[in-house]
């Protein structure tokens, strides 16, 4: 081999060594893209499955679903799951504008989760003071996890679905450190119910 051939080998090996030594330093300065950051919100039926949800309910029944949240934000988060009760004519949250439903909050779950951690709790509910007359239904109250709540919601008879339809709406809120307040996290799930008197 000629001296020129050895120079090429030494230069190539030197460049490789410089790159290997520079990679740790570059990783401090260059941030590679991370995976998507998001939060999950779900409701499962009484058998912990995405099914077996209560639908035809009345004031004599007690019903169970499971509510869950999982954190994939790459940081800890303080969440609130806000339970609301609405009829078909009341607006849903606006996903485009990131605005929550205008229905008043009835019950709040508060949970702190580390990244990758999940939380799941039972949601037991029942209705009271349910009446129907002249194609209109009224639900006077709702009991959630043993807490009695006054709702006074009206629904009109839906000929297409043959029922009085209400929705148990669950919204996910998250604490914003900058504004020092909870804000709607643009995630919600709902459970449609045909509520009838006993």
What are the extents of the domains in the chain? 1-32, 38-196
Is 80 exceeded by the pLDDT of residue 1?
Answer: no
Whether 136 contacts 98, CB under 8 Å: no
Q: What is the per-residue pLDDT for 16? A: 74
C-alpha to C-alpha distances, 126 to 1, 38, 93, 167, nearest whole angstrom: 89, 32, 24, 13
pLDDT in tens, 152-166: 999 999 888 789 999
Using CA atoms, how far apart are residues 45 and 13, in angstroms rounded to an integer?
A: 62
CATH class (in words) of the domain with range 38-196: mainly beta
| % of residues, the chain, pLDDT over 70 | 84
pLDDT in tens, 35-66: 789 999 999 999 989 889 999 999 989 999 99
Query: Any idea which of 7-16, 117-126, 146-155 has the lowest mean pLDDT?
Result: 7-16
Tallying the residues shown for the chain, one arrives at: 198
Q: What is the mean pLDDT of residues 118-147?
A: 95
Full-prediction pTM beyond 0.75? yes
Helix and strand totals (H; E) in the chain? 1, 10
Q: What is the mean pLDDT of the chain?
A: 89
| % of residues, the chain, pLDDT over 90 | 70
Q: What is the per-residue pLDDT for 161? A: 77
Of 43 and 96, the structure prediction assigns the larger pLDDT to 43
Q: What is the per-residue pLDDT for 142? A: 96
């Amino acid at each position: 081999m000629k001296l020129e051939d050895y120079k090429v080998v030494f230069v190539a090996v030197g460049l490789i060594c410089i790159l290997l030594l520079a990679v740790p330093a570059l990783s401090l300065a260059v941030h590679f893209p991370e995976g998507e950051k998001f939060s999950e919100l779900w409701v499962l039926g009484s058998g912990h499955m995405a099914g077996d949800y209560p639908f035809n309910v009345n004031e004599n029944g007690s019903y169970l679903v499971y509510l869950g949240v999982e954190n994939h934000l790459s940081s800890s988060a303080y969440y609130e799951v806000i339970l609301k009760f609405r009829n078909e004519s009341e607006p849903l949250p606006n996903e485009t504008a990131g605005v929550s439903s205008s229905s008043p909050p009835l019950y709040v779950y508060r949970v702190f989760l580390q990244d990758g951690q999940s939380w799941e709790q039972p949601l037991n509910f029942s209705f009271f003071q349910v009446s129907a007359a002249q194609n209109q239904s009224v639900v006077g109250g709702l009991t959630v996890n043993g807490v009695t709540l006054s709702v006074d919601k009206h629904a009109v008879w839906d000929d297409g679905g043959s029922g009085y339809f209400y929705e148990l709406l669950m919204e996910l809120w998250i604490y914003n450190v900058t504004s020092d307040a909870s804000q709607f996290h643009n995630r919600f799930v709902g459970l449609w119910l045909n509520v009838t008197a006993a």
